[in-house]
Structure 1
Amino acid sequence: MKSLCHSSSYMRGRRRHMREKKSMLEALKRSNMIALKSNKKAYILLMIVNIAMCASTFVDLAFAEYITNSAYNLFTGKTDYNAVIFGILAFTFATLIFNSLGLIKQMLNNRLMLDITYHFEGTLNDKLGSIKWEYYENNETFIKIHEVRNHSLKTIKNMVNSIIFYITVVPMAAIYAYYLSQINIFAVIIYFILVIIFNLVIAGKMFSQLGRLWEEIQSYSHRQKYFFNFSGDKITHQEYKFNRLFNYAGDLWEKCYDSEHKIKLKIFGKHEITLQTARLIFNLPYMTMMIFIGFEIVAGIHEIGFLIMANALFNNIINTCLNIQNNITNNRIESVFIKAYEEVMSYENDTITSVLPYRGNVHLNKVTYTYPQARVKALDQLDLCIKEGEKIAIVGHNGSGKTTCTNLLMALTDRYEGNITDGTKPVNLQNSISCILQDFAQYQMTIRENIEAGYVGHEFSDEEIMSILEKVGLKDVVLKLENGIDTQLGQLSKGIELSKGQWQRLAIARLLANPNATIWILDEPTAYLDPISEIEIYDMIYKISGDKTVLFISHRLGFAKRADRIIVFDKGKVAEQGTHDELMQKNGIYAEMYKIQESWYAMPSNPIGCCSAIAGS
């Protein structure tokens, strides 16, 4: 029974080893292709220079033998001083040549790495901007995207350096073979058997076990780093400080750190034992050969300089074996990030249509949608008609399906059941909608660029931008700025900071920038404002929307009274719809929500609430 279990365990380990080897080779191949695409000329030249620099090892070994023999011969009077000086000058000249090659190598390497960075980031950004929306909603694919963004570029660069190293191993092996050929062939064979057994097999397994221990600690490490960076960005730090989270977050960090620290101490202990044992193992073949060569020198087969050269030779061989082992180990571990990169680059792109902006009614017929990994339907047999030019307030509790409905209208996904039509045939609203979302972007660009982002491809004149800013109430603010509409915003490039309300008005300006949009969607863009300010923003949008269809989405009802129609979502369906008065008479979900929120909008001079005042304006 024990024999069967051992055999089964061995086979599983063997299969895992073969998978890792295949994955590593595929990762090296992919990295090689990226390097060639990034800068083929620099990549090939870098390989040639690295191969040429292998000759420096030959020169170094020859110089070690020459200088030792020359010193001995000078001491014994077998050679003259001038001959030794000439030889030293020749080796010095060769060293200068290799130093120049080293400079060229560094310059080529820097150029190649910059081009790889540009190629990687450019292609990845293009891909992430084109993939389907579901990949960001799915937890597994979202994590994979995060891994690629954080690790794949560094891995590709490491893989490229490994490829160059593996290529240089061939000429290095030829140099080693030349010098080893001067030693007894049987001793060399025994030496390499010892190197393979001790270095590549025993030590390799020891370091592989150590690598698996490091993998186990990653979950603790990620969590500890998360809490360490808890106050890393501006918005999070504000909440961090306001809620006095220093001790709370510190305690969480300390728990994770303690767990990680305990495991790391065990790993460090095993690492030191492994490292020192590996060093001893690596040196066994070396010590054996040095003893053998010592006997050959005593026997008069070699000069004393050969012993010094052999010492450097065997150290180089050991270092090369170690580098091969380290590169293979690292390549196996890191190949997972290349695989993740390939998977992300193979994700299905979103369909970009060139349909003209649509005007007319929109019908959602039996529309059903479930988020990836979710068990409950976000929309369940939804039937809804949106009439052209209507100003609709879509309300409901969190999770009722409001945002999901608008996501489908914006054509973020086509993986839903049912139809979105004009009444008879399917309609694509991709080029017909402009929107402001709850977490609207605060682009750290100029004011001009912030507005241009709302209508990409159109070159705005200064007059057009000022006209838009005037509509959203920012013209006077911008005119007071030294650089006007070309003022940099945010914390980059010495930009200025806007208030939350000003940022929201700038987001509305982007909404106005696209004249072709026939439908505006506002998905709780005022969630961070107080209820009174929210009504003011909605009132402004209402006035400038003209004949456009506008969907106001919120779980707060301050502006709902002014809407042409109120649609109440509940459990992925339309639970109620009608005007404010009609829904209040029904005394259903809307009436319940409104009565709870009514006090939010009340003023001392207006006990009924400012909603009524605005509704009558």
Structure 2
Amino acid sequence: MEKIKNIYEKANIYVKMLNLIKEGIGKYFFLIIFINILISTKLALSTYYHKTIIDTVSKIPINMDLAFKTLFVLWILEIFILVFNELSAYIKTIIKYRIDYTISKRITDKMAKIKVEVMENIEIYDLLDRVNSNVPTGIADTILLIIDVFLNIFKIISFSFVLINIKWYFPIVSILTSIPYLFVLSKQGFDTYIMQVAQNKNTRKLNYLFEILTNRVYSKEIRTFNLIDFLVEKIYKIRKTIWDEKIELIYKHSRWTIYINILKNISIGICLFITCIDVIQKRTSLGSVVLVISAIQNMIYSATFIMQYIAKINKQVFYINDFNKFILMPEEEDTLQKSISNFKIVCENISFSYPNTSYQSLDNINLTINENEIIAIVGENGSGKTTFINLLLGIFKPTSGAIYVGDRELPTIINEFRKKSVCIFQNFIRYQFTVEENINAGNFGQKNRLKSFYAKTFLDFVNKLPFGYNTELGQLENGSIELSGGEWQKIAICRALCREDLKLIILDEPMSALDPKVESDLYHEFRDLCKNKQAIMISHRLGATKVCDRIYVFDKGKIIENGTHEELIKKGGKYYKMYKAQQSLYV
């Protein structure tokens, strides 16, 4: 029963792959098959005419008219083969591009929908790494391998018709001696995939270490701490482990390949010996020797290639199976709700634990954010502040409890909610774009006028850049400018604030890299920035809390205090102690 299930699953994978062929290349697949039929037929004819020319010139007197006609036909056939081979290569390039584009688009579309909480599992990262590294090129290569299988099948059929005129069993001998190669190659493909899965973790570590060693961002610290030898040693050890495993596997596979090649050459020798005996005893012509050598070699090579291609296809099936697992990964709900009646946010008894952990990062959180209200969430590291924001943004779902926006649960209106809300993350992305593109990314890539305050407070440095707002940032282009941490953070803030029809602003440690003057200016203008909007500010630095309507104090995943700044100061609890510890910063 298990074998039947495995056969069904593998057949289902092949069906899906054929659907990808239809979607990606359509008519090109049948065109290349037709061209391959012509190529294989002409190759067999060319071998037959080689026999004819030898038979003609070996007879005395030589029939010059027949010899020249045969040579002319042979010349025409060679030209046709050359032209069709080039045409085949051109179409294969188109096919590879179209398949690669189709699969890559499917992967990027899926990545945009996968639930973020699923990606907390380390095994998912291994799966994603295999999919990104192997699937787009792998499936394209698999399609080309299928095409090459057809070509070599047509070659075997064509050469069999030619060879059967010498000895009827020669084609059978040629094919049978290649069959053991299929089992060897299938085992090689399986062993290689298993090894790659086992090496996934080391490969990711190696890529990470190489990125650290070669990235300009890390170069100062690496040289300051004199870490080059330390990193190189770690890279060497991981590489040695990887290569030792590969070499051991290659050695194991090479022994079996040698045995198979010896068997194939014995079969060629036997067929050639029988043909030579027939020539000596005048049962066949001298040209038959050339035909047998050429035809049997072509058939064995074609059969061998088919075995190799099938083994490679079977190997790719593992990655196609990974692709199917990837495509079936759970997605965020595709909501149809197009409008939100109001932006009052209510969190009812929400708790949350990260996947594969029993520890509750949030425990029975209840809070309300009214429209046009500004709140602050404060607490020490690990208190659950960022986890709460991840739930509010719909990145994670509560383990228990619910979040409501207006009169609807958040998941049912998540798409519209995200269009009207922005978050300035502590670890924001530094896009390697122009300044203008960096800012417009906050408004779905569309241009938007920045208020004069934003430009004056945050972007005064842009006018000093070589090309102003058109200056390329980062390291991708020659002449790109690398900004300071504070300048990057100013751009991140403007990126969030430029969103049109914005209802909710979330700031996750937004001031960490800003100088005190800019931070002070932001606090003074914060009410105006948040006019007709809700705002949530998460910060260790409590200077911003005075401008907030309500403050929630998180500790070990729970809300232990809430109220205005004045109320919490009078209470003399956790917030009071935190504020007093930082009071000198705000004098």
Task: Name the TM-score, length of structure 2 as normaliser.
Answer: 0.87
Work out whether 1:488 is the aligned partner of 2:472. yes
Partners of 1:188 and 1:109 in 2: CA distance: 29
What does the per-residue CA deviation read over 1:79-115, in whole Å, with 9 as the maximum and x for residues that have no partner? 1445423322221122112211122212212222222
Output the amino acid matched with 1:577: N
SS of match in other structure, 2:235: helix
Query: 1:298 is aligned with what amino acid?
Result: I
Task: Please list the CA deviations of residues 556-593 of structure 1 after superposition, one character each: whole Å capped at 9, or x if unmatched.
Answer: 44544553333221222112223445445555444454
* Structure-2 residue corresponding to 1:610: 585
Aligned partner of 2:39 in structure 1 is 53
Report if the CA contact (8 A) 1:357-1:516 is conserved: no
Cα distance in structure 1, aligned partners of 2:523 and 2:223: 31
Question: Which of residues 301, 312, 318 is equivalent to 1:336?
Answer: 318
Give the 3 Å change call, closer, same or farther, for CA 230–556 of structure 1 in structure 2: same
Change (3 A) 1:209 1:420: closer
**1:138-194 deviation per Cα after TM superposition (whole angstroms, max 9, x unaligned):** 333343233222211011111101221232244223213212312333565555544
Alpha-carbon offset, residue 520 of structure 1 = 0.6
Number of the residue aligned with 2:355: 372
Deviation at 1:214, TM superposition (A): 4.6
The corresponding residue for 1:139 is: 122
Q: Secondary structure at the match of 1:609?
A: helix
Choose which of 26, 35, 40 in structure 1 pairs with 2:21: 35
Which residue, out of 474, 481, 492, partners 1:507?
492
Matches within 5 A, 1:252-271: 252-271=234-253
Aligned twin of 1:447? 435
1:577 to 556, 562, 576: 562
Write the distance in 1 (CA, Å) between the matches of 2:578 and 2:498.
35
TM-score by length of 1: 0.83
Instruction: Please tell me the residue identity of whatever aligns with 2:43.
Output: T
Which of the numbers 275, 282, 293 marks the counterpart of 2:275?
Answer: 293
- The aligned amino acid for 1:308 is V
Q: Which residue of 1 aligns with 2:551?
A: 566
Specify whether residues 591 and 288 from structure 1 end up closer, same or farther in structure 2 by C-alpha distance, changes over 3 A only. farther
1:32-181 alignment, distance < 5 Å: 32-73=18-59, 77-181=60-164
Q: 1:549: which partner in 2?
A: 534
Query: Given that residues 116 and 395 in structure 2 are in contact (C-alpha distance below 8 angstroms), is that contact kept between their aligned partners in structure 1?
Result: yes
CA distance in 1, matches of 2:466, 2:249: 58
Q: Equivalents in 2 of 1:407, 1:217: separation in Å?
A: 32
Offset from partner CA, 1:207-242 (integer Å, 9 cap, x none): 468647854773555544443343244434454444
Letter in 2 for 1:54: S
Q: Distance in 2 between matches of 1:205 and 1:457?
A: 49
Distance 2:485 2:142 in 1: 45
Distance in 1, Cα, partners of 2:185 & 2:437: 55
CA offsets 1:24-49 (integer angstroms, 9 cap, x no match) = 54444333322322232333222222
Pick from 247, 254, 265 the counterpart of residue 283 of structure 1. 265
Larger CA deviation: 216-225 vs 306-315: 216-225
Q: Give me the whole-angstrom Cα distance separating, in 1, the residues matched to 2:103 and 2:97.
A: 10
Equivalent position of 2:199 in the other structure? 218
Match of 1:611, as an amino acid? Y
* Greater shift in the superposed pair: 358-367 or 101-110: 358-367
Distance 1:213 1:290, change over 3 A: farther
- Provide closer, same or farther for how the CA distance between residues 390 and 204 of structure 1 changes in structure 2, counting only shifts above 3 A: closer
Q: Which of 299, 303, 308 in structure 2 is aligned with 1:321?
A: 303
- Partner-residue secondary structure (3-state), 2:26: helix
Q: Deviations over 1:326-358 (max 9, x none)?
A: 122222222122122223223334334544356
State the 1:522 CA deviation: 0.9
Q: Which amino acid letter does the alignment assign opposite residue 471 of structure 2?
A: T
**Partners of 1:423 and 1:80 in 2: CA distance:** 97
8 Å CA contact 2:193–2:315 kept in 1: the answer is no
Aligned to 1:434: 422
Q: Which moved more, 1:536-545 or 1:291-300?
A: 536-545
* Structure 1 Cα separation of the partners of residues 565 and 576 of structure 2: 9
Q: Which amino acid aligns with 1:218?
A: Q
1:400 aligned to 373, 380, 383, which one? 383
* Equivalent pair of 1:559/1:611 in contact (CA under 8 Å): no
Amino acid at match of 1:40: G
Residue in 2 that maps onto 1:251: 233
Structure-to-structure mapping, 1:234-245, within 5 angstroms: 234-245=216-227
C-alpha distance in 2, partners of 1:546/1:64?
88
Cα 1:382/1:185, change in 2 over 3 Å = same
CA contact (8 A) 2:352 2:362 kept: yes
Cα deviation, residue 368, structure 1: 1.6
2: distance between equivalents of 1:391 and 1:365?
19
Q: State the distance in 1 between where 2:422 and 2:80 align.
A: 63
Amino acid corresponding to residue 455 of structure 1 in structure 2: N
1:186/1:250 CA distance change after superposition, 3 Å = closer
Change (3 A) 1:215 1:413: closer
| Aligned equivalent of 1:387 | 370
Counterparts of 1:111 and 1:457 in 2: how far apart (Å)?
Answer: 31
8 A Cα contact 1:358 1:518, kept in partner: no
Secondary structure of the equivalent of 1:54? Answer: helix
CA contact (8 A) 2:28 2:91 kept: yes
Deviations 1:393-444 (A, max 9, x none): 2122333221121122223344542122368764654443211112212222
CA distance in 2, matches of 1:156, 1:571: 48
Distance between the aligned counterparts of 1:225 and 1:551, measured in 2?
A: 37
Relative distance call for 1:384 and 1:210 in structure 2 (3 A) is: closer
Structure 2 match to 1:418 = 401
Distance 1:285 1:332 in 2: 27
Q: 2-side partners of 1:481 and 1:188: how far apart?
A: 74
Write the distance in 1 (CA, Å) between the matches of 2:364 and 2:437.
41
Q: Paired residue for 2:290?
A: 308
Verify the 8 A CA contact 2:43 2:81 in the aligned structure 1: no
Q: Distance in 2 between matches of 1:415 and 1:392?
A: 21
* Distance of aligned partners of 1:235 and 1:493 in 2 relative to their CA distance in 1, 3 Å threshold: closer
Shift in Å at residue 521 of structure 1? 0.3
RMSD: 3.3
More divergent stretch after superposition (515-524 vs 207-216): 207-216
